Structure 1
Amino acid sequence: MNHNIANIRNEYSLKGLHEDDLLSDPLKQFRKWFDEAIGSGLDEPNAMLLSTIHHARPSARIVLLKDLDHGLLFFTNYNSKKGKDVAANPHVALTFFWKELERQVRIEGTVSKTSENESDEYFATRPRGSQIGAWVSDQSEVIEGRETIEQKTKIFEAKFEGNSISRPPHWGGYRVIPDYLEFWQGRPSRLHDRLVYQKNPEGIWSIERLAP
């Protein structure tokens, strides 16, 4: 079947976004929108696009937001492509897109590892299969085939049989501390609302409107 890709288009008309709608704290504003996404029953509203850059080459992938405090937390293999990228360059971007709400949030900031206690606490809440998987996968490394993963899974299942599973030293959390957040609300005729929080060198947040 042939489709005209250029004609794939939705008209956004659910809501608008005004400066008076925003809270003064951008993370509280994010929490408000995030709670509304959860309340709307969206599938995986915590899915976010993590963009990194290394040697002037961008890379992006979906990861899951796992906590929100003074930053945004996710967990992964420290030896993965993303882990190596942020070790070389801690400046990252996050993107959330909640299509059903016609909303997008773009976040820029710096990332650093969480404490070992935070990583241990989250790892303990993971399903046992996911805990085994953290030991099994040399994430982002080339492997010969699926059987490599299956064989290693059997090895680690046997190793930890009847025992709790400790967190691998190469696996843990990252916290992104934002200095830029853009809240995007779809509007008709592509004249979207875009309101941006930016932090100045003194740590004060300002709010500005961008042209759509």
Structure 2
Amino acid sequence: MSLTTELPADAGRAPIPEAAEPYALFEAWMAEAVAGEPNDPNAVCLATSTADGWPSARMVLLKGRDERGFVFYTNEESRKGGELLSNPRAALCFHWKSLRRQVRVEGTVERVTAAESDAYFASRSRGSRIAAAASEQSRPLASRAEYAARVAEVEARNPGETVPRPPHWGGFRLLPARVEFWQDMPFRMHDRLVFERAEATGGAWRTGRLYP
């Protein structure tokens, strides 16, 4: 019996639709993730590497997106901040398990403007702003008590609602050069649609499918 006659009931899942650019499709998938994922649908694995090629990866939260790129925020003196500044290339991987979908984004990275970083920092809760200002992210910490003492010190210096953004804390925007959409299908006959920027055509997208 052939696979086409053995496919289960969910085999009718529609293939990923063709498109001229990746942004509308990403927004549609993100909207479904927001509606269906139980926790942090904007969580994404960020992969960076050192100037000499040593990779590292960690989860961050996507805090902005448009046709310019994908924005996240961090302490620029952290490990990821230092790697992004020394090698401004990175990759993102969104995985929405309940939807059985994944999106991979690769490209170069730039700092967002100070105004953008100020606006986002001000939107965070006071506690989150204080914690960020008190943290020497990624550097050795002798004990939790030491961090608690730094938090108390920052609180004492900023008794009101205003907590200024530390100068070393800000946002990065990943400028996509390649975006791949992956969708689970029966028998591991997964659907993969990739978009790549064609520099020869002034940054227009070219698209195609990949074998699973």
The count of residues paired between Structure 1 and Structure 2 equals: 200
Segment of structure 1 superposing worse, 144-153 or 157-166:
157-166
Which of residues 161, 171, 175 is equivalent to 2:169?
A: 171
- Look up the SS of the partner of 2:109 in the other structure: strand
Q: For structure 1, which segment, 21-30 or 111-120, has the greater mean C-alpha deviation from structure 2 after superposition?
A: 21-30
Identity of aligned residues (%): 43
Q: Which residue of 1 aligns with 2:178?
A: 180
Aligned to 1:159: 157
CA–CA distance in structure 1, aligned partners of residues 166 and 151 of structure 2: 14
Q: Is the 8 A contact 1:52 1:86 kept in 2?
A: yes
Distance verdict in 2 for CA 1:50–1:137, change over 3 Å: same
CA–CA distance in structure 1, aligned partners of residues 181 and 106 of structure 2: 12
Structure 2 residues not aligned, in runs of 5+: 1-7
Corresponding residue SS for 2:138: coil
**TM-score where L is the length of structure 2:** 0.90
In structure 2, the residue matched to 1:44 is 40
Q: 2:126–2:161: 8 Å Cα contact kept in structure 1?
A: no
Which 10-residue stretch deviates more, 100-109 or 202-211? 202-211
Question: CA 1:171–1:192 in structure 2 vs 1: closer, same or farther (change >3 Å)?
Answer: same
User: 2:55 matched to 1:76?
Assistant: no
1:112 partner SS: strand
The one-character-per-residue Cα deviations of 1:5-31 (angstroms, maximum 9, x if unpaired) are xxxxxx99473424xx23322122111
2:64 to 64, 67, 77: 67
Deviation at 1:121, TM superposition (A): 0.4
Q: 2:25 matched to which residue of 1?
A: 29
Distance 1:12 1:118, change over 3 A: farther
Q: Is the 8 A contact 2:71 2:173 kept in 1?
A: yes
CA contact (8 A) 1:48 1:62 kept: yes
Equivalent position SS for 1:142: coil
Task: Extract structure 1 runs of 4+ deviating beyond 3 A.
Answer: 11-14
AA at the equivalent of 1:94? L
| RMSD of equivalent CA atoms | 1.6
TM-score between both structures, scaled by the size of structure 1 = 0.90
8 Å contact 1:13–1:186 — kept in the other structure? no
Q: 1:128-147 deviations in whole A, cap 9, x for unaligned? A: 00100111100000111111
